[in-house]
Structure 1
Amino acid sequence: MTLSTKRRRATTLTAVTAALALTAACGGGSGGEDGDGTPDGPVDLRMTVWSANEGHHEIFDTIADAYVEENPDLVSSVSFEALPIDTYVDALTTQIAGGQAPDMAWIMESYAAQFVSSGVFANLTPAFSEAAGYELDDLIPGAIELWSSEGDLYGYPFSNSPFGVYANLDLLEQAGQDDPRDLIASGEWTYDAMMAMAAEVSSQTDAAGFISSGDSYSNWNGALGHMWLSWGAQPWSEDGTQCQFTDPEVVEFFDWFHTQAFERGATPLPGEEFDFASGQAGLMMSQMSASTGLGEDFEWDFLPLPSGPAGQVSVVGQGGVGVLSQSEHPEVAADFLAYFTNPENSRLLAQYFPPPRTSLLTIDTLAEAAPNLTSEQIQTAVIDQSVTAVTKMGHPQMSEIADPVRIALDSLWQPNSDTASVMSQICSDIEPIISGS
C-alpha cells in the first residue's frame, strides 16, 4: 500500500468518525426499525471480519443459524463478510462512508479507542444487561476497559489472547543456554536475559535469535507495543492529546531495542525474515494461536513475558466486535451480539479465541484452542497472565498517526541513528494531529 493510499485511508476514517459522532448525537441509526426499536419484519444482518479461516466461519455460522432458528420473526439471516486484514480498516470505512455500513464489525484493539470515542460503535450495555444469563460480571475488567466509556460497553473483545515467548529449546541448548524456566524459577526471566540468549543463538547457529509476531520495523505498535510497557513507556498521554515519545522511558526502550538489533545481533535487521515454526529462530514473541503451527521437529516451550525495568507486564492482543451506529438494524444487531457472546457461545468461540470471561479461563476450555500446549503452559502463559493483563496502547486518532510514526522511525533503523532525535521528530510530526492544533 502506498503512502498516498494510507493517507487517504486516514482521511476517510477521520471524516467517517466525525460524521458518525454527529449522527450519534442526533440519535441516528434507526434504519428500518420503528420508533421503539422493533424491526418491521425479519432482517438480514451482516458482520465484517478479517478472517477467512473455514474453522472460524463454521463456528460463526453455527451460532448464527441457531439464533435465526430461535428468532425467525427478528432475523432471516446473518452473514459474515471476510475482508483482507491488510486493507481491513480501509475497506470498512469505505463501506461506512458510502452508506453501506455493516451491522457489526470485528476490529483490532489498536483502533478500539477511535471506534468507541467517535461514536462508530453503539452502546451494547442495554442489550447485554437484558439478555438472560449473559453474566456481564463474568467479563474480566481489564479485558473490556479499552472497549468501554463512562461505564458502558461499546465493543466485546471476544478474542483476548495474552502474548508470551516461544522458545526453541534445541537451539538454546545448541547455543549453550539454560532452560528459560530455570530463569523464571529464579526470578531472572528479564528482557535483557532473553536477548542475551537470543544473541548467543544468533552468533552460534544459522538461526535468528529473537523475532516478534510482526515486523518490528514496519508494524511498530503491533510488534513492539507489548514490550515497551515493561519499561513504563507511554508514547502518548492518557487522554491521547500529548506526545510522550520523548519521555525518558520511551527513549530508553527504543535505544535498547536498537542496540539488540544493530550492536548485539539478537534480533534480525530490517528486511531479514525468519520462521520460528521452521526452526529458524531461537525465541519468538507471539500468542497461543501460534502453537497450532508447531509440530515435533524440535522441542519448544511457551513462556510468560519477561520483566523489564518497570517490572513484568502481561499484555493481551484483542479482536473486538461491535454494532455500527449506522447499522440499519442496531437493536437487532445488538441482540444477536448478546447471543453471539453469551457464556455458552463464548465456549464455542474459545476453540479459536481465548474468551474474556473469568469462568472460561480454564485449562479444559483453552486446551481446545491450543491442543499443542501443555497444561502448565496454558496455566502459566495464558490463564495466569489473562487475569492481570493490559491491552496494547491504542489511540483515538490511530489511523492518522500510525504512518507518521512509522515513517519517522525509518530513520532509527540504521546503525548510527540517534534515538532521542528520532523521538523528537515523531512528536513534531504527530503533536499537531493529536493536540487538535
Structure 2
Amino acid sequence: MRVRKPRSRALTAAVAALVLLVTGCSGGQTRDDRTIRLRFQSLAWQKESVDANKELVEEWNAAHPDIQVEYVQGNWDSVHDQLLTSFEGGEAPDIIHDASDDLADFAYGGYLADLSELLPERLRSDIPEQSWETTTFGDGIYGVPFLQEPRVLIANKKILESSGVRVPTAVKPWSWAEFRQVTKDLTAKMGEGKYGIAWPLKEPVSVTLNLGLSAGGRLFHRGDDGKVTIDFTEGDAVVPGTIHDQVDVDGSASRGTLGMGGSDSLPGLFGGKYAMVPLGFSYRQQIVQQAPEGFEWTVLPAPAGPGGPVQGVSPQTLSVSEDSAHQKEAVQFIDFMLRPPNMVRLAKGDWMLPTGMRALKDPALHTQKDGWATGAALAGDLRPAPAQSVRGYPEWKDKVATPAYQEYYSGAIDEDELRKRLVEDGNLVLARYQR
C-alpha cells in the first residue's frame, strides 16, 4: 500500500499555500522574476562538512540562475521536533537533510514526497538496494540515502600492540566472546584504574541494536499483516550481555563512561585510561584534531557474530517536502549534490562513507591514513538498522528502551527485567501506531 497524506494534512497544506500566495515569502515559490527559489536545510555541523555543503550550493546557484537554492542551517539535536512543527505550519524546507531512522513517521504521516517517479536512473542504480531499503516505506521512497558510518573500535595503538593480543582485521574481526576476553586481558595488563574498553552509552539504543545484527539480533519482527512486534531472542541478548558483563562482571569496561557521549570519552582514550572506545566512523576527525602530540591510534572493525561483521546503519538522507511547489527541481538539486565526485566531497567533509558505489571506489577513501581503508572494507556489510521502518520507534526508544538499557548496563536490573520492559512495554507503545 502506498503511503497517503491524511486529510487533515491536506487541509493544513491548502491553508499554508493560500497564506504563501498572499505573502509571497516562502521558499519553493516562483517570485516575480520567474526564478524558482528552494530552501535546503542542512544538518552539517563539522566545519569541513558545512564548507562542502555551502560550496556545492554556490556551484549549483552559479550554474542554475533560474533555480536558486538557499542554504538553511539545521541542528541534529532538535531536528525531529523542528521538522514536525514546520510541517504542521506549512513552512517546511523544500529539501530536507535528516537520517533514515527519523523518516518513518514523517513518511507515513504524509509530510514527505514520494520520490519513486522523480529520481533519475543514474542515482537509483548507483546506490545499492540495501541502502534504498532504509528510505522505503510502503511502496514509496521518501529519501535518498547518501552518507553512512559503521561503528568501529578506536584503539590506543601502543597499548594494543604491547599487550600481545590478536589484532583484528575487517576480514577476521574478533568474535563477541573473543572481544570480551581481549578486554579482560588488556585490563589486567594496564593496571589499576584502567580499562580495556570504554562504552560511552548516553544514547544506548542505536548502538545496541545496530551491533546486534552481527549476532543475529533483530528485536523487531514484521508479521504477515504488516504489523511490527518486539521479541527478545538469544541473538538479541549477545551484545547487551557482553557490555553488561564487561561492566558488571569482569570490570574490564569503565562504569563511569556509561552516561557519556562519544566525545566525552576521548580524553580518557588519549590519556591511556581506556585501551579502546567503540565510536562512529566520523569521530576520527575529532581524534585528528584533539589528540595530543605523539598519540598513536588505529581503527579496528567492531566484533562480529557468525554472519560476519554485519551491522545496522541509518544513513543520512535528503528528502523533499510533500508541500514543496517544485519537487522536480528539488530532486534535480539532490541529483547534483550526489554526483559521485560531490558525494566524495560530502563524505570526506563528514568523515563518513558514501552510499554510492562509484563514489565509494574513490582512492581517497581507501588510504590507510586515519583508518579510511578499514571503514571502506566494512561498507559491504552495512545493513538497514533494525528499527528503520518501525512507526513509533522514537517514542519506544525514548520512553522504554533507553532507560531499560541504561539500567541493565549499570547493573540495576537483570536480563529478565530488560526483556520484559523491551517486549511488554515496547509492544504496548508500537500497538498505538499500528491500529
Aligned to 2:196: 209
Rounded to whole Å, the distance in 2 between the matches of 1:402 and 1:26 is: 31
Pair 1:223-2:207 in alignment: yes
Letter in 2 for 1:66: E
Which residue is equivalent to 1:196? 181
Is 2:416 the partner of 1:420? yes
Q: CA deviation at 1:91?
A: 2.1
> What is residue 9 of structure 1 aligned with on the other side?
none
Identical columns (%):
18
Is the CA contact 1:162–1:317 (under 8 Å) kept in the aligned structure 2? no
Q: CA deviation at 1:190?
A: 1.2
Question: What displacement does 1:400 show?
Answer: 1.8
Q: CA deviation at 1:86?
A: 2.2
**Per the alignment, do residues 120 and 267 of structure 1 end up closer, same or farther by CA in structure 2, a change over 3 Å counting?**
farther
User: Which digits, 9 at most, give the CA deviation of each residue in 1:235-292, with x for residues without a partner?
Assistant: 2113684443433332444333211211112222234763234544212222332223
1:156 partner amino acid: V
How far the C-alpha of 1:146 sits from its partner, in A, is: 0.6
RMSD between aligned residues: 3.3
**Which whole-Å CA distance do the structure 2 matches of 1:69 and 1:99 have between them?**
29
For residues 296-341 of structure 1, the C-alpha deviation after alignment (integer angstroms, 9 at most, x for no partner) is 6333221222222554314445211211213343333222222222
Residue 127 (structure 1) shift: 3.0
Question: How far apart in 1 are the matches of 2:170 and 2:358?
Answer: 27
1:72 aligns with 2:45: no
CA contact (8 A) 1:246 1:420 kept: no
Question: Unaligned 5+ residue runs, structure 1?
Answer: 1-17
Does structure 2 retain, via aligned residues, the 8 Å contact 1:42–1:73? yes
Q: Which residue of 2 aligns with 1:6?
A: none
CA distance in 2, matches of 1:23, 1:335: 29
1:384-399 to structure 2, matched below 5 A, reads 384-394=377-387, 395-399=390-394
1:138 lines up with 2:126 in the alignment: yes
Question: In 2, are the aligned partners of 1:113 and 1:146 still within 8 Å (CA)?
Answer: no
Count of residues paired in the alignment: 400
1:178 deviates by 1.9
Shift of 1:70: 2.3
AA aligned opposite 1:140: P
Q: CA offset at residue 419 of structure 1?
A: 0.8
* CA distances 1:350-399 after superposition (whole Å, capped 9, x unpaired): 322421111121252326xx8842xxx433x2223212321322332222
Q: Distance in 1 between matches of 2:413 and 2:235?
A: 18
Q: Which amino acid aligns with 2:421?
A: Q
CA 1:348–1:412: 2 relative to 1, 3 Å? closer
Residue among 116, 121, 128 paired with 2:119: 128
Partner of 1:351: 348
Distance 1:396-1:78 versus aligned 2 partners, 3 A rule: same
1:100 maps onto 2:84 in alignment:
no
CA contact (8 A) 1:209 1:282 kept: yes
* 3-state SS in 2 of match to 1:124: coil
Name the CA shift for 1:423/1:208 in 2 (closer, same or farther; >3 Å).
same
SS in structure 2 of the partner of residue 413 of structure 1:
helix
- Give 1:173 deviation, angstroms: 4.0
TM-score (norm: length of structure 1): 0.80
Q: Does 1:378 align with 2:372?
A: yes
Structure 1 window deviating more from structure 2 (326-335 vs 98-107): it is 326-335
Paired with 1:21 and 1:201, the residues of 2 have a C-alpha distance of 56
TM-score by length of 2: 0.80
Q: Tell me the secondary structure at the aligned position of residue 125 of structure 1.
A: coil
Specify the alignment match of 1:266 in structure 2. 252
Q: Any gaps of 5 or more consecutive residues in structure 2?
A: 22-27
Partner of 1:326: 323
Q: Judge conservation of contact 1:116–1:147 (CA < 8 Å) in 2.
A: no
> Which amino acid in structure 2 is aligned with residue 308 of structure 1?
G
Matched, 1:238 2:194: no
Matches within 5 A, 1:43-58: 43-58=36-51
What is the alpha-carbon distance in structure 1 between the residues aligned to residue 392 and residue 281 of structure 2? 29
Displacement of 1:106: 1.6
Which residue, 146, 160, 163 being the options, matches 1:158?
146
